Amino acid sequence: MKRILNIVVMIVMLTGLAEAEMFQSVTQEKAELLQSGKGKLYCPNCGMNLQKFYKTSHAMAQKDGSTHQYCSIHCLAEANDEITPDTKVVDTNTLKFIPAFTAFYVVGSSKPGTMTMNSKYAFATKPEAETFAKANGGKVMGFAEAVQLAADDIAPDNVMINKKRGMAAGKGKMMYTKMCKQDDLPAFASIAEAKTYVADSGICGTLKDKQYQAIAIYLAQKDAGVKAVAKSIKAPEGAKCPVCGMFVHKYPKWTAQVNIDGYTHYFDGAKDMMKFYFSPGSYHKEATQAMITRLYVSDYYTLDAIDAKAAWYVVGSNVYGPMGNELVPFKSEKDAMAFKADHAGKEVLTFDAITTELVKSLDK
């Protein structure tokens, strides 16, 4: 299912780890930063360096009055359900911010994309966009069409992005272990937050941007969910359960999540999550249980994301999940016991009491 953005009108792939000079990059004095704060140099959605990905930068005011500047139209679309009229984009030629709704985009040119394989560059006038397209290929279109294409591309782009983030997280983990002070760290809600902390605190010394990015990816994935998933697990529309292949976003009451060394998997129930947990290599090539950093399940009553290892599970009740018999999760033993009594449950189990044999029996 396509993600439809609510556009309000009043009338690189993850190549950010490359230090080589790129088409999107500009010198420091030419990069205009519209957001503020210690992390103003980083995209709030992905942590990418805005100077390095300046030519694809977009900016939009937030409800709290602040401005967020994104490295790409991909991050703009991914981070916001509603695109507002004040949205701005960098003109590829002049390097100045211009209104996005009046800009002309060249989509699919031979120039590299930022956070996507389908590149998107903006221009103030149609003739300028047509000249660029004639030289580099691509199709000229308006902002509304371009941002909807970006939204449609989120799911397939994120598959590739997450693979690269998985590799980056592995490198980041090694660098963090060898190069950084092993202090007690705060929980990070995003890569940008982790990157800002590492760069500003100096716990890893002075590093190159690609090194900060790798370490930040590792730290953010390691702590994924501590803040960002404090309320509920939100699976992307294109995410499929790696065990059964179902679209997870259709079942928010049952959603579970596994973070495995920089990659996030979503499941349409705790049962399938446990199948993955017991045999990750069957669903994620060369993965091992030791690579799993965090597991989350959804509390049946509140839908809050809870640590799967701290949850209580009701087995054998008359309540069925998307895949039939389920392990029904709760944040407290009291809630689990009450549910068991109300729904003819057989047992209340802790995470450690769940076995492969039990999980297999639920499919019978």
- Sketch the domain layout of the chain as residue ranges: 6-153, 161-222, 248-361
At 123-158, the pLDDT tens digits run 999 999 999 999 999 999 999 999 999 998 888 888
Separation CA 267–CA 298 (nearest Å): 11
Separation CA 61–CA 97 (nearest Å): 14
Provide the mean pLDDT of the chain. Answer: 89
pTM, rounded to two decimals: 0.61
Average pLDDT for 183-187: 72
pLDDT at 14: 43
Separation CA 88–CA 40 (nearest Å): 16
pLDDT at 292: 85
- Percent of the chain past pLDDT 70, that is, above it, reads 91
Average pLDDT for 218-235: 66
Judge whether 23 and 112 are in contact, CB under 8 Å.
yes
Higher per-residue confidence, 184 vs 345: 345
pLDDT at 224: 55
User: Coil, strand, or helix at residue 87?
Assistant: coil
pLDDT at 16: 40
The yes-or-no verdict on residue 235 having pLDDT over 50 is yes
The yes-or-no verdict on residue 1 having pLDDT over 70 is no
At 203-221, the pLDDT tens digits run 999 999 999 999 999 988 7
